[in-house]
Amino acid sequence: QLVMEQAERIIQAKREAEEAEKLQQEAEILIRKSK
């Protein structure tokens, strides 16, 4: 049970990290366009 909860948390964190990376790339593109 505990292992499953930890795995869920890790998967969630990984997903959030990937989402943050995508947003960061989009932000960098917008910054380049605005210059």
> In 3D, which of 11, 19, 20 has the Cα closest to residue 3?
11
Cα→Cα distances 10→3, 7, 20, 23, Å? 10, 5, 15, 20
* DSSP 8-state class, residue 1: -
Dihedral angle sign, alpha carbons of residues 8, 13, 19, 25: negative
pTM of the model: 0.68
- For 1-35, write each residue's pLDDT tens digit: 899 999 999 999 999 999 999 999 999 999 999 98
What H or E segment, with its residue span, contains residue 14? helix 2-34
- Residue 1: the pLDDT is 81
